[in-house]
Chains A and B, each alone.
Chain A
Amino acid sequence: MTLLAEILVSVLIVAAGFFGLVGSYGLAKLPDLMTRLHAPTKASTLGIGGILIASMIWALMSGHGFSSHELLITLFIFLTAPITANFLAKSHLHRRIERRESLPAPEDGASWATFEAPEATHRDEPSSIAAARLRGEQE
């Protein structure tokens, strides 16, 4: 393994460790869920991502060949982490009904999706027809 690769791997690991630490510290330190949510996302994306890339480079350089596992893990984490965070935030909003008043209104006059139905759906018509009707009214 070349020195360059070793340096690269080391840097990645240290950076990953740093972000992991920051994420964990943030999780403990930040005051409420909405802000706290930011911390572990850093840890999961940058922290774990760094370690995975380091592992991949190491495997490649030390003659174990190209390892796709890390890439897949990264892919899946990138897929799931935002959704998890989104769901946590949504349920947090949803469960704190008294917070509803304090939330800023979305800019285009719409409302928060978790509180208001996105559009009126009539019981008797499929929503595609409802949408078409709305569209017609709009024109």
Chain B
Amino acid sequence: MALTLIVLLPFVGALLPGLMIRAGRNGCALATGAVTLLAFVLLMSQAPAVFAGEVVHARWEWLPAIGLDANFFLDGLGFLFAGLILGIGLLIITYARFYLSRNDPMGQFYTYLLLFQGAMVGIVLCDNILLLLIFWELTSLSSFLLIGYWKHLPEGRQGARMALAVTGMGGLAMIAGMLILGEIAGSYDLSTILQEGEAIRASQWYVPALILILLGCFTKSAQFPFHFWLPHAMAAPTPVSAYLHSATMVKAGIFLMARLWPVLAGTDWWFYIVATTGLFTMVMAAWIALFKDDLKGLLAFSTVSHLALITFLFGLGTPIAAVAGVFHIINHASFKAALFMTAGIIDHETGTRDIKKLGGLMVLMPITMTIATLAALSMAGVPLLNGFLTKEMMLHEALHTEWAGVPWLLGAAAVVGAIFSVAYSFRYIAHVFLGPKRDDYPHHPHDPPFGMYLPPLILIVPVVLIGLFPAAVAGPLVAVAADAVTGGNLPDYHLAIWHGFNLTLVSSLAALALGAFLLWRHRQANAVRLSVPRPEAKRIFETLVDGAAAGARLFTDGLHNGSLRRYLAVMIGACILAGATAFLNASHAPGGRELTHVPIITLLAWAVLIGACVTIVIFHRQRLLTLVIVGVVGMLVSLGFVYLSAPDLALTQISVEVVTVILLLLALNFLPKQTPRDSGTGRRLRDGLLAGLGGLGVGGIIYAVMTRDFTTISDFHLAQSKPGGGGTNVVNVILVDFRGFDTFGEIIVLGIAALAIYALLDGALNGPAVKRLRSWVPDQERARDRHPMMLVVATRVMLPLSLMVGLFIFLRGHNEPGGGFIAGLVVAIAFLMQYMASGFGWAERRMKIDYHLLIGWGVLAAGFTGVGAWIAGRPFLTSDFAHVHLPVFGDFELATAMAFDVGVFLTVVGSVMVALANLSRLARVTEGPISDDPMDVDPQRRGPGTGMPDAAHTGKAEG
């Protein structure tokens, strides 16, 4: 339980900063810190069990069907990492409070930080590799937000994008690798997989799984050739860099290598891929770091180099090297976080991070200088500091391992790496703090406030203490963590400063001396560096990304060229093909049903329908005419419904037809009235053929269906409508009861469609299109009398009548033709007519209803009705009805479906009106001021020179 809580706390806590920022920056930081502290305390409460060698478990079934469970477990390794993440997180939160300026949105920062923290803790504590993948992607996403926190900086945005692209790509590879791993082990539970080491290594799928998982680890931990994203992520605020690149994000890859070490390590493949990559990256990054003039750039490459060191140690595949790797994780986290923070302090106080502009800060910033020097010396591997211990262990392992039969290769490379490492660490001290005091710093440097140097100061304590008393201070933690990494095969080792005078000590001391020499000859070394070709990783990355984007665009544009005609042709063609295949491979027999006699009236309607369709085909370029004929077709269809005794459908069809025609007319206002001829004869022949075949096919199917006897679900509906749904109008009972859930979904879709119209047209109204609209000249001459008196008067008279009809249709809907949908349309039409008659602006001023709200209320009303069934212990949307007796009105039937229908009604009215409102807003941009008068020509207020009496005057005279 505590474990789940530790993981959940940062996620839940991520809500706090945004709220607490109103209580000021201190309140915000305190709230964030409290969340992390609580998680940290919870973690520490598990410490006794972990140090006693227990593994703490917490299990929650989530999606057992696909093997995804929210299982967590805490062993030594998880404890170490969770401790680093939360502990350093706490320091970072303190540091960030003082680092961020007043202009930076602090609430956002802490929210991202907590999200990231939660994802990281999730990675290190989860016991299910599918869950791990989820957290893994979450770290990619949240680190994207953190790195790009300064949205105004292009470097920040590019760095964030690059980090996301590289780590996200690696994450994709890892998903595949993890799935393979899970399949081999037969379980997605990490604790089970860890027991299956031998089976996994023996499997033929081992190598693909290994490579895919390592792709994920290497991208995350910035190993060659994916190291380039990390330096670019330095555009982030320093607290982010300190957090992401000392203890968390980049350590995730390392963590996974450590976690899967018992399963994957120990093979040649593992050794040659991981150890080689690690060592190469270590040397290369250390060399680059030496020449970085940006403080954070230097630290970034040193981070890559140190991560590579840990990778190398794990890659060796021996338990003792793994112990060294675990130990270095602790050491690196402490001194690197401290170094990043001092870099941030220097940047903050001097106004620059450029080493060339710095120097002589020793006198000005003594506290910072002490902290930075200690941390940098530890990074260099100077004795009595913790960095020395692990550097010794690493050199020892490298010197005693042979690579492809060459015994000295690893050792030599490791020493070279160590020399560079010493050189850049010393450079951080020498070129920043030593030397003469300068007078051209951008700011006046001095030591920062206490809160800002406290976190690095705290981090320096373990650096020194572990350096002095390694076994006493770090021993137990290293032991439990390494025990978890090695899967219980903890080797015999002891952490000590003095191992006797041996080859390792000699090479370590030589590295120190040579490193110092290299720094002394920095200028010459730089000349050497400049003389060799240096591939610019960022440019290569961008070329690759541009290439991929161009390829994707080519592919997408090839398939989707934006021509609706093409999409339709493909879709209909596919349907015809599928239909034809089925048709040709089946037997055909005429239906057994007798054909009915065709009454003359049906024949007439049919002929008109065909005539209308043919007319549309002929005149489809004249859009207004087409619209009129479409209206004719709709009218005939609704007549057909009446003829076939489907009054509900007929009513719906008529109202939908009216609304559609009005909305289309509004849209057509801004469109050309003629469709241009833009396809050749060949294409039109093709389309004609497709349409003909499609029509024939559909006609054939309908004929085949109607000439056969068949049973449908209708019989059930007819039988159950009254006893089950409490209504005699089967159509309505189906809508609000039998298929209520469908209707619920449909009204939501309707609402979303209306909101999409709003969003699209709002974009047009606020975008560049509005300029074109303003200067738009109507393509037809406008009537001056746009709101004619007759129409105005008639619609006013009709309004109460139509509303009454709407109410009537709504109320009787459950038992007779009608219902919420039709009623909604009728009421919407009643409103539409007012808008049409007097203009939108005029009507809108008088309608105080927010139609967006109406949609929301409608969906909510329907939803609550459905939820109401839960109270009665029934499934969602179960309806109930009762007969009520009122003294005057007599017997009433009340059904819960009525409340549901109210929801449908409100949504329909809201959606239609939102669509109308937004189409008319377009028109209003192009037109003049909103008239105060309902009609343009009003006999009651004739202008000058008319003989008509003025309403105001007569009023006065009579009064």
**Nearest-neighbor residue (CB-CB) of A94 within chain B:** B783
Residues from chain B with a CB closer than 8 A to the CB of A137 are: 944
The answer to whether B946 and A83 have CB atoms under 8 Å apart is: no
Q: When the two chains form the complex, which single residue of B781, B794, B929 contacts A97, counting CB atoms closer than 8 Å?
A: B781
A70-96 contacts to B, CB under 8 A, are: 79-80, 82-83, 86-87, 90-91, 94
B947 contacts the other chain (CB 8 A): yes
- Assuming the contacts A86-B790, A135-B952, asked whether A118 and B946 have C-beta atoms less than 8 A apart, the reply is no
Q: A82-B790, A138-B944 are in contact. Are A116 and B797 (CB under 8 A)?
A: no
A127 to chain B, nearest CB (A): 5
A116 engages B784 (CB within 8 Å)? yes
Q: Is the CB of A108 within 8 A of B794?
A: no
Check A126–B930 contact: CB distance below 8 A. yes
Q: Which residue of A lies closest to B930 (CB)?
A: A126
- Out of A80, A113, A123, name the residue touching B937 (CB < 8 Å): A113
Q: Select B944's contact among A114, A124, A134, beta carbons within 8 Å.
A: A134
Interface flags, B915-959, vs A, CB<8A=1, else 0? 000000000000011111100110001111111101010000000
- Known contacts: A94-B783, A121-B928. The answer to whether A109 contacts B945 by CB under 8 A is yes
Whether, in the assembled complex, B552 has its beta carbon less than 8 Å from a beta carbon of chain A, the answer is no
Q: Does any Cβ of B come within 8 Å of A117's Cβ?
A: yes
Residues from chain A with a CB closer than 8 A to the CB of B952 are 135
A residues within 8 A CB of B946?
Answer: 108-110
Interface: A119 (CB within 8 A): yes
Interface of B is mostly: loop
Instruction: For residue A122, give the distance in angstroms from its CB to the closest CB of chain B.
Output: 8
Q: Is A115 an interface residue when CB atoms closer than 8 A count as contact?
A: yes
Chain B residue with minimal CB distance to A91? B783
Q: Which of B785, B794, B933, B941 contacts A113 (CB 8 A)?
A: B785
In the complex, A109→B945 CA distance in Å?
Answer: 7
Write the nearest CB–CB distance from A117 to chain B, whole angstroms.
5
Task: Note all chain B residues with C-beta closer than 8 A to A117.
Answer: 784, 936
Q: Let me know if B169 is at the binding interface, CB within 8 A.
A: no
B945 and A108: CB pair below 8 A? Answer: yes
Whether, in the assembled complex, A30 has its beta carbon less than 8 Å from a beta carbon of chain B, the answer is: no
**Interface presence of A68 (CB below 8 A):** no
Residues of B within 8 A of A129 (CB): 932
- Set A79, A113, A135: member contacting B784, Cβ < 8 A: A113
- CB contacts (< 8 Å) of B781 on chain A: these are 94, 97
Please report the number of residue pairs spanning A and B whose Cβ atoms sit closer than 8 angstroms: 77
CB within 8 Å for A121 and B931 given contacts A135-B950, A135-B952:
yes
Tell yes or no: A131 within 8 A of B by CB.
yes
Q: Are B932 and A79 in contact (CB-based, < 8 A)?
A: no
Name the CB-closest residue of A to B938: A118
B853 at the interface (CB under 8 A from A): no
Bound-state CA distance A70–B271 (Å) is 95
A and B contact pairs by CB, cutoff 8 A, 7 listed? A86-B790, A97-B781, A109-B946, A126-B930, A127-B933, A131-B933, A135-B950
Contact A119–B943 (Cβ < 8 Å): yes
In this complex, what residue of A is CB-closest to B784? A117
Cβ–Cβ contact B929 & A124, under 8 A: yes
Q: How far is the CA of A135 from the CA of B943 in the complex (A)?
A: 8
Give the residue of A90, A109, A121, A123 whose beta carbon is less than 8 angstroms from that of B788: A90
Query: Could you say which of B784, B932, B948 contacts A115, with CB atoms under 8 Å apart?
Result: B784
Interface presence of A102 (CB below 8 A): no
Q: Which residues of A contact B931 (CB under 8 A)?
A: 121, 126-127
**Is A128 among interface residues, defined by CB-CB distance under 8 A?**
yes
Minimum distance in angstroms from B945 CB to a CB of chain A: 5
A115 to B950, CA, bound (A): 23
B947 touching A86, Cβ below 8 Å: no
Q: How far is the CA of A16 from the CA of B781 in the complex (A)?
A: 40
Which B residues are in CB contact (< 8 Å) with A122?
929
CB of B49 to closest CB in A, whole Å = 77
Answer whether residue B798 sits at the interface, using C-beta atoms and an 8 A cutoff.
yes
Q: Once the chains bind, are B944 and A113 in contact (CB under 8 Å)? A: no
Q: Which of A83, A127, A131 is B794 in contact with, Cβ under 8 Å?
A: A83
Q: How many of chain B's residues have a CB under 8 angstroms from any CB in A?
A: 28
- Distance A135 CA – B928 CA, assembled complex (angstroms): 22
Q: Which residues of B contact A (CB under 8 A)?
A: 781, 783-785, 788, 790-791, 794, 797-798, 928-933, 936-937, 941-948, 950, 952
Complex-state Cα separation, A118 to B81, whole angstroms: 81
Distance between Cα atoms of A74 and B237 in the complex (Å):
78
> Is B928's CB under 8 angstroms from A123's CB?
yes
How far is it, in angstroms, between the C-alpha of A135 and the C-alpha of B942 when the chains are bound? Answer: 9
With A and B bound together, what is the CA distance between A78 and B788 in angstroms? 17
Identify the closest chain B residue to A110 (Cβ): B946
Q: How long is the Cα–Cα vector from A114 to B785 in the complex, in angstroms?
A: 5
Chain A: interface residue total (CB-CB under 8 A):
34
Q: Which residue in B797, B928, B947, B950 is a CB contact (below 8 Å) of A79?
A: B797
A76 to B797, CA, bound (A): 11
- How distant is B784 from chain A, measured CB to nearest CB, in Å? 5
Shortest distance between the CB of B30 and any CB in chain A (Å)? 54
Which chain A residues lie closer than 8 Å to B798 at the CB level?
79
| A window 3-52: CB within 8 A of B | none
Contacts of B950 in A (CB 8 A): 135
Q: Return chain A residues, CB-CB under 8 Å to B930.
A: 126
Taking the closest CB of chain A, its distance from the CB of B85, in whole angstroms, is 63
Residues on A with beta carbons closer than 8 Å to the beta carbon of B784? 113-118
Q: A126, B929: Cβ atoms under 8 Å?
A: yes
CB pair B936–A118 under 8 Å, yes or no, is yes
**Complex CA distance for A114 and B784, rounded to whole angstroms:** 5
The distance in angstroms between the C-alpha atoms of A118 and B787, with both chains bound, is: 11
Q: Besides the contacts A83-B791, A86-B790, A87-B788, what 15 more A-B pairs have beta carbons closer than 8 Å?
A: A87-B791, A90-B783, A94-B781, A97-B781, A113-B936, A114-B783, A116-B784, A117-B784, A119-B943, A121-B928, A123-B929, A126-B930, A126-B932, A134-B944, A135-B950
Contact B794 A79 (CB under 8 A): yes
The one of A87, A108, A121 in contact with B947, judged by C-beta atoms closer than 8 angstroms, is: A108
Q: Which residues of B contact A118 (CB under 8 A)?
A: 784-785, 936-937, 943
Taking each of A87, A97, A114, A137, which has the highest tally of chain B beta carbons within 10 Å of its own beta carbon? A114
Give CA–CA (A123, B942) in the complex, Å.
20
Q: How far is the CA of A128 from the CA of B940 in the complex (A)?
A: 13
In the bound assembly, the distance between CA atoms of A123 and B785 in angstroms comes to 17
B944, A128: Cβ atoms closer than 8 Å:
no
User: What is the CA–CA distance of A91 and B784 in the complex, to the nearest angstrom?
Assistant: 12
C-alpha spacing A119/B797, complex, angstroms: 26
Which A residues are CB-close (under 8 A) to B788? Answer: 86-87, 90, 113
Q: Interface centre among B785, B944, B945, B952, by most A CB within 10 Å?
A: B785
Instruction: Considering the complex, give the chain B residue whose CB is closest to the CB of A106.
Output: B946
Q: Give the distance to chain A from B515, nearest Cβ to Cβ, in Å.
A: 78
- Provide the bound-state CA to CA distance between A44 and B794, in Å: 18
Cα-based distance from A128 to B788 in the complex (angstroms): 17
> Min CB distance, B940 to chain A, in Å?
10
A81 to B804, CA, bound (A): 22
Chain A positions within 8 Å of B947 at CB level: 108
B932 touches A127 (CB 8 A): yes
- B-chain residues with CB within 8 Å of residue A113 when the two chains form the complex: 784-785, 788, 936-937
Collect the chain A residues with CB atoms within 8 Å of residue B929's CB.
121-127
Q: How far is the CB of A112 from chain B (nearest CB, A)?
A: 8
Task: For the complex formed, measure the closest distance between the CB of B839 and the CB atoms of chain A, giving whole angstroms.
Answer: 11
Q: How far is the CB of A64 from chain B (nearest CB, A)?
A: 19
Q: How far does the alpha carbon of A71 sit from the alpha carbon of B798 in the complex, in Å?
A: 16
Of all chain A residues, which has the CB nearest B941? A131
Contact partners of A131 in chain B: CB under 8 A: 932-933, 941
Smallest CB separation, B816 vs chain A (Å): 15
Please, which residues of chain B bring their CB within 8 A of the CB of A97?
781
Query: CA A83 – CA B791 in complex, angstroms?
Result: 6
Closest CB pairs A-B (n = 6): A113-B785, A128-B932, A119-B943, A117-B784, A114-B783, A126-B932
Quick one: closest B residue to A109, CB to CB?
A: B945
In the bound complex, residues from chain B placing their C-beta under 8 Å from that of A135 are 941, 950, 952
A97 to B933, CA, bound (A): 27
- Please report the C-alpha to C-alpha distance between residue A133 and residue B199 in the assembled complex, in whole angstroms: 95
How many angstroms from the CA of A123 to the CA of B937 in the assembled complex?
Answer: 18
The interface residues of chain A lying within 8 Å CB-to-CB of B942 are 110
- Give the CA-CA distance A126 to B933 in the complex, in Å: 9
